[in-house]
Structures are given as structure tokens and as C-alpha cells.
Amino acid sequence: MAMTKTLFVLFLSIIFFSSRLRFSLAADKNSLAASFVFGDSLVDAGNNNYLQTLSRANLPPNGIDFKASGGNPTGRFTNGRTIADIVGEELGQPNYAVPYLAPNASGEAILNGVNYASGAGGILNATGSVFVNRVGMDIQVDYFGITRKQLDRLLGPEKATDYVRKRSIFSIVIGANDFLNNYLVPFVAAQARLTQPPDAFVDSMISHLRDQLTRLYNLDARKFVVGNVGPIGCIPYQKVISQLKENECVDLANKLALRYNSRLKDLLLVEMKNKFNDANFVYANVYDLVMELIVNYKDYGFETASEACCANGGGRIVGILPCGPTSNLCVDRSKHVFWDAYHPSEAANLFIAKQLLHGDSTYISPFNLFRLRDL
């Protein structure tokens, strides 16, 4: 009886240490052990599935090309993979970062990283209130604080610190909703603009983001990549509500994005880098990347950069309603820059991700993501 019990304990120990070894070897082989993702619907991997919110993407045909799910919707706001998914794959991340709010976001699953992003979330806490529930950046950082303690328990404090500082990348894609679902919302904007002119609103965004990045640094984050705000005046939604022609964009929305982007670049590459010289901050120029696709879409094999693949209704409301089971679906999803009225298709995400991984300072500075991983 004693011998049987001893063998059983030994068997469990072998399984436990073999599992741990798999994670260790994966990290050694691929360099990137974990990806911690923060942001909005551009990189949400399913957190909003677990919220009572109007911002959800867990209905078909969302996810129709997401092979890992067999084409079933996962809560990603696109037809396939997000930019964060593709970047993680290319950098050798063993598995996709698990959504923080998912039931399986515990134990060794978090060693591949965790996705905290939430559709409608923003830098500012008030952003996205029209969607009822969402997880803003402040709370996302709170959630990482909980994950950080879990990593200490899983790996031990010393190894956990090394894991987070040297083997993990922190990706942040946020800010667009602070304009689209806050400052530019018609019934909110009038009051907001009376109290905060554009420069003051951007100042508030930068101030909050500075604090959020500092909190992540204090939790041992050392490798950051932060995306700027894309040309939000050119997304199908903005074109439809403003009744613009194919080659036109909403000027105010793009100007706001450019104001913020200029401040963001200085925050990352000058202020934060000087303040935290043992950390690396990478600025992802998503604005110019997406604008390149919109202007020269034919050069990259696309047929349209103004019409969403998944659209609802007709006439003036086409492209305004969320993508869902009653939507009209395009014939070839790989030929559309936009999946729905707000979000890029997987084909566009792939183009963007490749530039961030391999590109030069035109789109990613001071160096690309492969270089960041290998530091």
C-alpha cells in the first residue's frame, strides 16, 4: 500500500514538472514566452463575451476565418485573427493569450500571456459609456496586477520577475474610442467641447496613459509596444454617417488622432524612455500603416478600402449596425480592408502585423517587434 502511494505521488510529480518544463522550453526556444495585451475591440480576444454590454462580437459571421475555433465566433471583432494574435504567432508565443475574464484564465494557461482588451474600452474611464459595460485601461491594469501575483505563486517571485521583464511583451492598442465613443459622440460632444477644447482633451488622454504605463512598469513590465490611433475619420462608419465619397474622410476625427499621436510619440520615445531607462518603449505608427492601405489598397491586392465586408441594412444605414447573423457578407473577405464598419479584416491585420514585425522606422520605432523580443 505504501509503495503504491509512493508511486502515485511520483507519477503526479513527473506530470507536474514535465508540464513546467514544456513552458520553460517553449520560452527558451521562442524567446517570447508571454504576451500581455491591453486595449479595445481591435485586440479584444473575447473579454466582452463575459460582460452585459452592447459591444460584443460573439455572433456569426464574426470569426468565420478563425481556424483555431473552427470558424466559430470567439468575441474577436473581425473575421479571423487580430493584430495581437498574428504578432504573438510570429514571435513564437506558444498559445494565444487567454482573455482575462474567461473561465480558463488561471493556472498555467496564463504563462502564455493574458489578454485584457475590451471592446468600447478607452484610456479615459468615461469612454464607451454608451455601450453600458466595458473594461477601460485603468481596470485592465488592475487586472494585470492580479495576474502578476498569480505569476509569483506559479513560478516563485524571482523567476516570475525574470519572466515578466525579459520574456514578455506588453502590447497596448487603445485611444480610438476616446474620440469615437467619447469626444465625438453627438449628444456628449457638445458639452465636452465646451469644457475641453481638443488640446485639453488630448492632454487628459496622455496624462492618464502616462499613469497607466507607469503602473505597468512598477509591476515589472519592461518591453512595451504602443499603437497610435489610426485614421478614424476614414473608417466606413464615419464615411456613412457623414455621407462622404469613397476617397473622402472626416477631417476633424483625423486631426484629433494626429494631435494625440504626436503627443504619444513624445511620451514614449522621449519622456518615458528617459524616465525608465531600463525599459524599452516602441511606437507603432498604425495611422500611417492603415492610411497606406486605404489610399493604395489596390497595390496590396484589395478591391475596396471604403466598403465593409460585413454590413447591415441599405441606403444611409448600411455599415452603421454591428456585424451579426442578419448582415450581408461580401464574397471574398480577403479583398476588403474593413471587416465591418469599424474594424479591419484579417487580411488587413496581417498586412499591419507584418510591418510591425519586420518594418523600419517609417512604421515602427525605434525598432521593430522582432528586435524588441530579442533584447
Backbone angles phi, psi at 137, to 5 degrees: -60, -35
Single-letter code of the amino acid located at 168: S
C-alpha cell at 323: 456585424
Query: What's the number of CA atoms in the CB half-sphere (13 Å) around residue 17?
Result: 6
Q: Which of 35, 41, 55, 118 is catalytic?
A: 41
Residues pairing with 38 in the sheet: 172
User: Running DSSP on this structure, what letter comes out for residue 312?
Assistant: -
Q: Which of 118, 171, 327, 343 is catalytic?
A: 343
- Report whether 319 contacts 311 (CB < 8 A): yes
Q: Which of 40, 44, 65, 340 is catalytic?
A: 340
Residues pairing with 169 in the sheet: 35
Any catalytic annotation for residue 343?
yes
SS (H, E, C) 57-83: CCCCCCCCCCHHHCCCCCCCCCCCCCH
Any catalytic annotation for residue 340?
yes
C-alpha cell at 262: 504626436
Q: Where are the alpha helices (DSSP H) in 182-320?
A: 186-195, 198-218, 236-241, 251-266, 273-275, 286-295
Any catalytic annotation for residue 358?
no
User: Reduced to 3 states, what is the DSSP secondary structure of residue 56?
Assistant: coil
How far apart are alpha carbons 375 and 362 in whole angstroms? 21
Active site residues: 41, 340, 343
